[in-house]
Amino acid sequence: MTKVIYAKYPGKCRVCGGKTQRNEEVVWQAGGQGVTHMKCHIAPLSDNAEFNKGVQDVMQWREEKELFGTEYAEQLAMEREFNEQ
């Protein structure tokens, strides 16, 4: 059984491996299977979390490129990469 809920606690998406925030709308999987981002649940990618993270990064970069332009989108991507290490 799955339900769409607002996360009570921060967690980790079982599809992409990314962080879920408190009060974020997520898909909850019964039986201790964890939660999934809405984006990941709608368009599941792969069982490989590292691959999914790369796809998520590309999708985010494209969205930011459209909103802010290429230069700023690249700067944001580099900042995120630096802060993850």
Per-residue pLDDT of the chain (85 residues; tens, 9 = 90+): 788 999 999 999 887 788 899 999 998 888 888 898 888 777 656 677 788 788 788 878 888 888 899 999 899 989 988 987 6
| Residue 35 CB-half CA count within 13 A | 23
pTM of the model: 0.50
